[in-house]
């Protein structure tokens, strides 16, 4: 990353700890490092927040400055900002940027690219951001995995697209799971459990059920482990657990560090960004 001059420092972000080509660059923002005021602030007294979402109710000028800082940290001038819809559509990031230049938004929940200098980006505030790349830095992708998209196959679709662009089997991809709602906080109903079990491969249904812990005394309520569910879907692509990194934070309970819609309702958005250098 760049730096202090950009207003966004490495300490303000999560950085993937993976052994891949230096061509691959990536980070996931937190709520720190920006200019937004409460309730979009940086989580500590007097600290500005890095809210990157225009649809949150924050001051537009603050969001513009925050996006400028995030982009400055990439060293690039534009990114494939999506209009996310909790679906499974995967887009070419360069095409998304071209549409944005024409004033057109793209409704999708993932983007991929094999072009240097093109930033794939997704925004979250409890949903799971998933970043993909191959060892040699031929292609990258970013996916927004809320429970609907995750159950619907957004991880598989994005991984397969990145693998095709890179010219490698999906099993050779590396993955970073950014900050999401943790297994101690993600309360869901039986409809969510049923959706995941129905979508799971037959040999993964028991493991899928095990990712839902019944809440004692509450009928048909569970605590879901979105990280475990994501890892099961990645395993279905043949990706070994050693190639999957991150997935240790909780946006709900780590209030000083992350935005959380479920916790606060009125809150900001963080971004997961990945791109290729020349």
Exposed e or buried b per residue across 131-165, where buried means at least 16 C-beta atoms within 10 angstroms of its C-beta = bbbbbebbbbbbbbbbbbbbbbbbbbbbbbbbbeb
pLDDT at 1: 56
What band does 5 get if pLDDT is binned at 50, 70 and 90? very low
Dihedral-angle region of residue 224 (phi above 0 means left; psi in -120 to 50 means alpha; beta otherwise): beta
pLDDT at 9: 87
- Are the CB atoms for 91 and 80 separated by under 8 Å? yes
pLDDT-derived band at 8, boundaries 50, 70, 90: confident
Please answer whether residues 277 and 115 qualify as being in contact, where contact means their C-beta atoms are separated by less than 8 angstroms: no
pLDDT band at 41 (very low <50, low <70, confident <90, very high): very high
Domains of the chain in start order, with CATH, are: 10-180+243-276 (3.60.140.10)
Q: Residue 3's pLDDT band (boundaries 50, 70, 90)?
A: very low
Cα radius of gyration rounded to whole Å, the chain: 18
pLDDT of residue 7: 64
**pLDDT above 70 as % of the chain:** 97
Q: Identify the pLDDT of residue 2.
A: 46
Rounded to 10 deg, the angle between the 226-236 and 154-166 helix axes is 40
Cα separation of 86 and 153, whole Å? 11
- Segment 68-96, tens digit of pLDDT: 999 999 999 999 999 999 999 999 999 99
* pLDDT tens track for 99-114: 999 999 999 999 999 9
Q: Report pLDDT digits (tens) over 44-55.
A: 999 999 999 999
For the entire predicted model, the pTM comes to: 0.96
Distances (CA, A) of 188 to 87, 195, 239: 18, 11, 27
Task: Please list the helix, strand and coil fractions of the chain in percent, rounded to the nearest 5, in that order.
Answer: 30, 25, 40
pLDDT surpassing 90 at residue 218: no
Query: What is the distance between the alpha carbons of residues 120 and 80, in angstroms, rounded to a whole number?
Result: 5
What is the maximum span of the chain, computed from C-alpha positions, in angstroms?
56
């Amino acid at each position: 990353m760049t730096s202090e001059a950009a207003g966004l420092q490495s300490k303000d972000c999560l950085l993937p700890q993976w052994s891949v080509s230096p061509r691959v660059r990536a980070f996931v923002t937190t709520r720190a490092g920006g200019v937004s005021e409460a309730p979009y602030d940086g989580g500590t007294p007097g600290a500005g927040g890095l809210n990157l979402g225009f649809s949150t109710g924050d001051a537009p000028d603050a969001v513009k400055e925050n996006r400028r800082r995030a982009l400055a940290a990439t060293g690039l001038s534009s990114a494939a900002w999506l209009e996310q819809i909790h679906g499974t559509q995967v887009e070419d990031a360069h095409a998304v940027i071209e549409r944005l230049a024409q004033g057109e938004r793209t409704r999708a929940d993932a983007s991929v690219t094999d072009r240097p200098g093109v930033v794939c980006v997704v925004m979250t505030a409890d949903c799971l951001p998933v970043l993909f790349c191959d060892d040699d830095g031929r292609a990258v992708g970013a996916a927004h995995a809320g429970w609907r998209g995750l159950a619907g196959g957004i991880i598989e679709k994005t991984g397969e697209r990145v693998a095709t662009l890179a010219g490698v089997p999906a099993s050779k991809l590396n993955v970073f799971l950014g900050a999401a709602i943790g297994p101690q906080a993600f309360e869901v109903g039986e409809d969510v459990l049923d959706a995941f079990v129905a979508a799971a491969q037959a040999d993964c249904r028991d493991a899928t059920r095990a990712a839902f812990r019944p809440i004692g005394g509450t009928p048909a309520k569970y605590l879901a482990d979105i990280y475990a569910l994501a890892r099961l879907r990645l395993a279905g692509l043949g990706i070994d657990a050693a190639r999957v990194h991150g997935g240790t934070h909780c946006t709900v309970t780590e209030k000083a560090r992350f935005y959380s819609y479920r916790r606060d309702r009125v809150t900001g958005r963080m971004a997961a960004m990945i791109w290729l250098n020349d």
